[in-house]
């Protein structure tokens, strides 16, 4: 197990290194430089000579590899610099916004798992019936519907027409319901289809027939023998979908006016706040890689035949 953990950690190093290089180059090679962005935030007119002095003082005239090393050496210590827009440390901005994003992502994932597992199990047990067709149609609709459009439909129905739920803000459970369902329905769709496919395959296995022949209750056969073995591909895809959930928070937090890392990143992009963009992207990349490592470790729990040595 120790060797496997070290191997996985070593694989993450080039991944995160590549992400940092890509983000650094994209922001430094786009039209308009960092000094122009700083001036834009200040709103005051500055002469060309002053801007040239600022570039020199801030090190923007150094070669790209020197600038990158300066950025990377600070980033690995958790220092992403200061925001051009707010003059706050980027790390502090991320930590302040993190609870809102974590709350939304966890709630969205929980809804995706509950709905996806429920529809997948029901569809597999009622294979080729109208129940199966209905569940798969709902799953396909959730997967194919753009999140921003689904969020607007929820706002129109449950807030404007029915008045059941508030539109914006993030205090209380009611303000979390619509954003979480909007975020989780797409992942619920793909989860339901995978659970259905996996269970239909496992139900044909000999050990399932043997378990039934022993007189085990059907609920025990389904939960202990069928569903557990059908979950391995589901766990893999859910781990990958978690990155999609993190990316979806940018849209959801904007639609429902919630404060979070995604909205911080969007505002930074719109104002060319490069340190904030770099910090948020790298932070989300680290979280995504960490979740996928945890997914790999969960395989041994779901399938006792898997052992990491």
172 and 71 within one domain = no
What CATH number should be reported for the domain holding residue 184? 1.10.3720.10
- Is there a domain that residue 51 lies in? yes
For 211-237, what is each residue's pLDDT tens digit?
A: 777 777 766 777 666 776 777 777 777
- Tell me how far apart the alpha carbons of residues 7 and 152 are, in angstroms, rounded to a whole number: 44
Which range marks the domain in which residue 60 is found?
A: 15-75
Decide: 46 and 39 in contact? Cβ < 8 Å. Answer: yes
Element (H, E) at 299: helix 274-302
Rg over alpha carbons for the chain, rounded to the nearest Å, is 24
Angle at 106 between CA 102 and CA 108, to 5 degrees: 120
Last residue of a domain, one of 43, 60, 75: 75
Closest CA to 29 of 68, 75, 87: 68
Range of weakest confidence among 75-84, 134-143, 297-306? 297-306
Same domain, 107 and 63: no
Domain presence at residue 246: yes
Final residue belonging to a domain, choices 75, 107, 125: 75
Residue 89 lies in a domain: no
In a domain, 243, yes or no: yes
The answer to whether residues 38 and 85 touch, using CB atoms and an 8 Å cutoff, is no
Q: Quick one: 63 and 171 in the same domain?
A: no
Arithmetic mean of pLDDT, 264-272: 80
Please check whether residues 242 and 290 belong to one and the same domain.
Answer: yes
| Same domain membership, residue 55 and residue 19 | yes
Same domain, 31 and 178: no
Rounded alpha-carbon distances, angstroms, from residue 92 to 107, 182, 225? 24, 28, 47
Over the stretch 153-192, which tens digit does the pLDDT of each residue have? 888 888 888 888 887 767 777 888 888 888 888 788 888 8
**Is the pLDDT higher at 245 or at 180?**
180
Are 193 and 109 part of one and the same domain? yes
pLDDT of residue 69: 86
Based on the fold, state whether residues 69 and 109 are members of the same structural domain: no
Nearest to 231 by CA among 289, 303, 297: 303
Statement: residue 121 has pLDDT above 60: yes
Instruction: Evaluate whether residue 67 is within a structural domain.
Output: yes
Residue 224: the pLDDT is: 67
Which pLDDT score is estimated for 70?
Answer: 83
Q: Identify whether residues 128 and 27 lie together within a single domain.
A: no
Domain count of the fold of the chain: 2
Provide the 3-class DSSP secondary structure of residue 172: coil
Percentage of the chain beyond pLDDT 70 is: 78
d(CA 166, CA 140): 28
In tens, the pLDDT along 89-112 reads 888 888 888 888 888 888 888 888
pLDDT for position 81:
80
CA distances from 265 to 40, 52, 141 (A): 18, 28, 29
Which pLDDT value is given to residue 150? 84
Same domain, 158 and 223: yes
Task: Report d(CA 219, CA 208) in Å as an integer.
Answer: 12
* Claim to verify: residue 256 and residue 194 sit in the same structural domain: yes
Is the pLDDT assigned to residue 33 strictly greater than 70? no
Structure-token match 């199966």, residue found: 132
Burial of 124 (0-12, 13-18, 19+ CB in 10 A): buried
Q: Are residues 36 and 163 in the same domain?
A: no
| 176 contact partners, CB below 8 Å, separation of at least 6 | 103, 104, 107, 170
Rounded Cα gap, residues 101 and 246, in angstroms: 8
């Amino acid at each position: 197990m120790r060797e496997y953990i070290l191997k996985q950690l070593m694989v993450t190093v080039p991944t995160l290194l590549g992400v940092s290089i890509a983000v650094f180059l994209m922001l430094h090679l786009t039209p308009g430089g960092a000094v122009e962005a700083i001036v834009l935030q200040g709103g005051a007119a500055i002469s060309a000579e002053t801007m040239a002095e600022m570039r020199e003082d801030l090190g923007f005239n150094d070669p790209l590899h020197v600038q990158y090393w300066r950025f990377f050496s600070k980033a690995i210590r958790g220092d992403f610099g200061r925001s051009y827009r707010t003059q706050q440390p980027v790390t502090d901005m991320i930590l302040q916004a993190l609870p809102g994003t974590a709350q939304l992502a966890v709630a969205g994932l929980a809804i995706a798992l509950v709905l996806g597992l429920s529809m997948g199990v029901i569809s597999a047990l009622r294979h080729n019936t109208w129940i199966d067709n209905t569940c798969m149609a709902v799953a396909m609709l959730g997967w194919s519907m753009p999140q921003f459009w689904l969020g607007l439909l929820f706002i129109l129905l449950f807030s404007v027409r029915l008045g059941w739920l508030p539109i914006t803000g993030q205090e209380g459970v009611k303000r979390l319901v619509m954003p979480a369902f909007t975020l989780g329905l797409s992942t619920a769709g793909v989860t339901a289809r995978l659970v259905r496919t996996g269970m239909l395959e496992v139900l044909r296995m000999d050990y399932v027939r043997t378990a039934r022949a022993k007189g085990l209750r059907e609920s025990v056969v389904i939960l202990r023998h069928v569903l557990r073995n059908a979950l391995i591909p589901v766990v893999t895809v859910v781990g990958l979908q978690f990155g999609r959930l993190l990316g979806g928070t940018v849209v959801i937090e904007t639609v429902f006016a919630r404060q979070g890392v995604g909205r911080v990143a969007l505002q930074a992009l719109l104002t060319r706040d490069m340190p904030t963009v770099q910090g948020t992207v790298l932070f989300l990349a680290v979280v995504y890689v960490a979740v996928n490592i945890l997914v790999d470790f969960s395989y041994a729990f779901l399938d006792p035949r898997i052992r990491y040595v």
